[in-house]
Structure 1
Amino acid sequence: MKGPRRLDAYPDRLLDCEEALEDELAALIGRACAAGWSRPETLAALISLCENTQLGDDADPILSALIGRGAGGNRS
């Protein structure tokens, strides 16, 4: 997997991360569908897992700040 272009914060860092994860995510979705899970339930499960991970990480102010700056970053 490709890493960030720089170690510090930069404007497109989140986009670069998304691009780095994209192929892995597509492969994971493909494997879940091949195992018999539907695409909608696979996506719903992934969203749920991400939300639950976020809830666990909320105590981390650095991670919360990064997520707040991300795509669609206004979490209510």
Structure 2
Amino acid sequence: MTAVILRVLIYVVIAGAVYFGIRKIWRDWKQQFRDIDREQHKRDLREREQPDVITLRRDGDGVFRANGDKGDDRGPRA
């Protein structure tokens, strides 16, 4: 009976170690991905503030145009 309890205890300890190890790896990766996303977002905001960046908006006809541009009179592109 003692051998069965010892064997179950060993399995529980191994399963706990695996569970907590996987959990730590998951949290570390998730945090690293969040840091990468946060840095990329900050970089995008800095780039957006540069004077040579044009912001495009979707017009009523579904075409993306720069702010203030009411479209060209040449018609649709071929």
Assess same fold via TM > 0.5: no
TM-score w.r.t. length of structure 2: 0.29
Q: TM-score, normalised by structure 1?
A: 0.29
Q: Which structure ranks higher in relative contact order (CA pairs < 8 Å, sequence separation ≥ 6)?
A: 1
Greater fraction of residues in strand: 2
